[in-house]
Each structure stands twice: as structure tokens, then as C-alpha cells.
């Protein structure tokens, strides 16, 4: 069994609306919409994103469902 580590492609601050996308070329986050520069960002992490998936899975179930 081989596992793949995924990263989110976008994130949004719940406080100021800042939107960032992950840029593989620079290896980091790049702002699409700036929001409030003084905000301590609260990213919309709700537990539905599963960063580790089974690359060999044929069941169609996520790693979270397997636990």
C-alpha cells in the first residue's frame, strides 16, 4: 500500500475574506484577494479535507472513512 500526501489548493479567511491559492512554483501561498492586512487569519479548516489518501485504494473510500 502506498499513501499520497495531498495539500489544499485554496484557503479562505473566515474573518476578513482573504483568499489564497497554493502555488507549486514558489512552494507557498499566493494571495488572490487580500482582505485585511491586520487580520490574524482564521482559515476555513472544517475537518473535511483529508491530506493522506491511499494511492492503491480501489474501494473509493477516503482515508478518513477507513479509520
Cβ atoms of residues 33 and 21 within 8 Å: no
pLDDT the model gives residue 7: 72
Q: What is the pTM of this model?
A: 0.60
Give the H or E element holding residue 35: none
Confidence of residue 29 (pLDDT cuts 50, 70, 90): very high
Mean pLDDT computed over 6-25 = 89
- As a whole number, the mean pLDDT across the chain is 78
Q: Is the pLDDT of residue 53 over 90?
A: no
Cβ atoms of residues 55 and 14 within 8 Å: no
Amino acid at each position: 500500500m502506498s499513501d499520497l500526501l495531498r495539500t489544499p489548493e485554496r484557503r479562505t479567511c473566515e474573518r476578513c475574506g482573504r483568499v489564497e491559492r497554493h502555488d507549486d512554483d514558489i512552494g507557498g501561498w499566493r494571495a488572490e484577494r487580500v482582505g485585511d492586512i491586520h487580520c490574524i487569519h482564521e482559515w476555513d479548516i472544517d475537518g473535511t479535507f483529508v491530506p493522506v489518501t491511499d494511492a492503491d485504494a480501489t474501494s473509493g473510500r477516503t482515508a478518513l472513512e477507513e479509520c
